[in-house]
A = this chain, B = another copy of it.
Amino acid sequence: MDTFALDERLARDSELLVHLGLCQLRLIKDSRWPWLVLVPKRPGISEVFDLTPLDQAVLTFEQNTVAAALKSVTGATKINIAAIGNIVRQLHVHVIARTEGDANWPGPVWGHGTAVPYGEDKRHVFQHKILEAIHS
């Protein structure tokens, strides 16, 4: 049986925040937007509908828990949730906090400009708030 291994590009572009039941919850290394990614720890899956029905339900639960936490922490105008994967084929779900007037608003974040790294402090504060909101 295959074992799950994180895609190399996801590993490079994001860092692990916490293991949820099904997914790794990861933070994209780009401070322009509060941008999380959920990666189901299942090998060989590209499309949400290739997950088992139970995994699909769990993914929905984890994704919506994370999205609600992200909205409460950021006070964002709108949460964007997307499974795209045209470049990185390992199934991953973006959960992004968008605020009126942010970079490329109201257009999408994918493919826009160049990532701006977090400062260490800003990242720690954000991580702490997100994990607290998820577990409350």
Contacts and interface: CB of A to CB of B under 8 A. Distances in A.
Contact of A47 (B46, B71, B84, B107): B71
Contacts of A84: 78, 80-82, 108
Interface string A55-66: 011011101110
Q: How large, as a class, is the contact surface on chain A?
A: 20 to 34
B46 A78 contact: yes
Nearest to A53: B61
A83 B86 contact: no
Nearest to A63: B48
A12 B15 CA distance: 41
Contact of A83 (B47, B57, B81): B81
Nearest to A66: B49
Nearest to A71: B47
Contact of A86 (B68, B89, B106): B106
A108 B111 contact: yes
